[in-house]
Each structure stands twice: as structure tokens, then as C-alpha cells.
Amino acid sequence: MMQKILQYSLLGQSFFLSAGRAVYWEGQRALVLSDLHIGKGGHFRKAGIPIPEQVQEEDLSRLGELVGEFDPKKIIVVGDMFHSAANSDLDKFKRWREAHSQQEVVLVKGNHDILKKEKYGEMGVQLEQDGYGLDNVVFYHQPPETAEGERFTISGHLHPGILVEGNGRQRLRLPCFWLPKDCLVLPAFSAFTGLFLVKPQAGEKIIAIADGELIPF
């Protein structure tokens, strides 16, 4: 399914937010996403909880579609790319990687990324321990508590979601992009993740994802 995109201007440059739960930075030809949690289903299955394998297949096929759509040079994952210790789900990712070997993959280490160091190299993933910078944007797994002066941050970790309320006492929870001051917090990429509801302060923007569409708040 073709996901809706929304062009967004930051620091005078063009960013495309996608309802496929990622953002494309045109100037750097970089696709940025967070919280992919590869191997989560496998981790559950190893503990006797039968989560269907299709869950990860769908995540990876959506990632493939985004790569096809934007043709990035680089894929930056701002943490929690892998869920836990190694399991056979990683082999599936390796196959995906072989089919998408043109792109460089950079991972900013998240709290879930606990694989042995050499594993990342084997999968063609460049591991960055303490954040990563491009131009005047820095990538951290966790959103910083205070804005870092001139620089803009892109992060993940929170799995941000928004509670929408309307007349007739309607309530909905939706995954979203959250834009506090000088920061962009990405929605969790994997569909097998929960939501952390954020309450935007004045001046902060939220772009919610619903039915493959993007709705700014």
C-alpha cells in the first residue's frame, strides 16, 4: 500500500514524513526510522508465546516499500532496531539486507540493542554507540531532556501516541510523530509495539497516523 507523505521543512531543508512510520531527509538521501524491534516475535516464541512470524515479515516488507519509494542512500535507525538476544528472526533480516544491499545502514544503539558487537557487522549494520550526526542534525535513541542549542535532534524510544477526543465522547489512540522544541520523536516502526501517550505542550506539533494517512494537530 502506498503510504501518504507530508513534506515538512526543518532548518531550511526538506523532510518527508511518511505514514509508513519513517521520515525521509531529502538533502542527505537518508531514510530515518526507530524501534524496529527485529526478533521480538522470535524472542516471544522462544519463551513459549506463539507470535506469528508474519508480524516481522510485514514490518520488513513495509521497510522495503519505503526504500523503493524514496531510494535512499542511507538508512538511519535511531535505536531498538533489534529487540533482544539473537534468534532466527535475524536470519530473515539478513536475507532482507542482501536484497537491499545498496543502502548503508546506520544504527544508533538503543536500550534493546544488546547483540554482540560482531553481529551488527555481519548484517551490514554500522553501530554508533553514542549518537550520530549529519550536517546540523543529531540522532539519539532517547529524546534529550533539554534542547541542544543550534542542533536539531531526531530520536525514538518512546513509541509516541496521541489520544484524540471529539464530540459525543469519542476517543481514539493513534501512533504519531511528535515535535517538541528542536526535536522530532519518531513513531515506533514495528506494528508489534504499544503506544506511549504524549501530551503536547503549547507550540509542540503532533502528526498522527491513521489509515495510512497523516493528520497534523
Partner 1 sequence: MSLSNIGIPREGRFFLFDPEFHSTKQLYLKDTPGYKILLDWFASKNQHPFPFQETAWQHFLNGKSGLLNAPTGCGKTFALFLPILIDWINQHPDWKDRKKNGLQMLWITPLRALARDIQKAMQEVCSEIGLPWEIGLRSGDTSSAERQRQKKQMPEILITTPESLHILLAQKGHPAVLKSLQAVVVDEWHDLLGSKRGVLVELALSRLKNIANRAATKQELGSTLRVWGISATIGNLEEAQQVLLGNDHEKGVFVKTDMQKRTIVESILPDEIERFPWAGHLGIKLLDKVFPIIEKSRTTLIFTNTRSQSEIWYHTLLDAHPDLAGLLALHHSSIDRELRDWVENALSEGLLKAVVTTASLDLGVDFRPVDTVIQIGSPKGVARFLQRAGRSGHAPHDVSKIYFLPTHSLELAEAAALKQAIENQTVEQRQPYVMCFDVLVQYLCTLAVGEGFRPDEILEEVLSTHCFQYMTVDEWEWVLAFISTGGSLNAYEEFQKVEKGADGTWRIASKRTAMRHRLHIGTIVSDAVMKVKYLKGGFIGTVEERFISKMKAGDVFSLAGRTLEFVQIKEMTVYVRRSKVKNAKVPSWLGGRIPLSSNLGETLRNVIQQAAQGDSDSIEIQALAPLFNLQSERSAIPSEGETLMEYIHTKDGHHLFVYPFEGRLVHEVMGALLAYRLSLKMPITFSIAMNDYGFELLSDQPIPLEEANLAALFTTENLFDDIQRSINSVEMARRKFRDIAVIAGLVFQGYPGKYKQDKHLQSSSSLIFDVFAEYDPDNLLLRQAYQEVFDFQLEEVRLRAALERISTGKILFHHPGKFTPFAFPIKVDSMRENLSSEKLAERVKRMQVQAG
The strand pairing partners of 213, in sequence order, are: 210
Which amino acid is it at 3?
Answer: Q
- Nearest 10 degrees: CA dihedral of 35, 6, 132, 99? 60
165 interacts with partner 1 by CB under 8 A: yes
Interacting span for partner 1 (CB under 8 A) from 25-33, 116-124, 150-158, 160-168: 160-168
Cα–Cα distance, 73 to 75 (Å, whole number): 7
Cα–Cα distance, 54 to 41 (Å, whole number): 9
Cα–Cα distance, 24 to 66 (Å, whole number): 9
197 interacts with partner 1 by CB under 8 A: no
User: Pick from 83, 109, 141, 159: which binds partner 1 (CB under 8 A)?
Assistant: 83
User: Pick from 13, 16, 28, 55: which binds partner 1 (CB under 8 A)?
Assistant: 55
DSSP one-letter code for 140:
-
Look at residues 26, 8, 12, 6 and name the one whose alpha carbon lies nearest to residue 150.
Answer: 12
Strand 13-18 vs strand 22-25: parallel, antiparallel, or unpaired? antiparallel
Interacting span for partner 1 (CB under 8 A) from 65-73, 117-125, 132-140, 165-173: 165-173
199 interacts with partner 1 by CB under 8 A: no
Q: Which of residues 13-42 bind partner 1 (CB under 8 A)?
A: 40, 42
64 interacts with partner 1 by CB under 8 A: no
Cα–Cα distance, 32 to 25 (Å, whole number): 8
97 interacts with partner 1 by CB under 8 A: no
User: Pick from 2, 7, 29, 52: which binds partner 1 (CB under 8 A)?
Assistant: 52
CB of 73 to partner 1, least distance (A): 32
Which amino acid is it at 152?
Answer: F
Identify which of residues 56 and 155 has a Cβ nearer to partner 1 in the complex.
Answer: 56
Three cell numbers at 77?
535507525
Cα–Cα distance, 5 to 18 (Å, whole number): 4
Site string for partner 1, 169-188 (x = CB under 8 A): xxxx-x--------------
User: Pick from 69, 134, 164, 204: which binds partner 1 (CB under 8 A)?
Assistant: 164
> Residues interacting with partner 1, by CB under 8 A?
40, 42-55, 83-84, 87-88, 112, 164-172, 174, 192-194, 208, 210-213, 215, 217
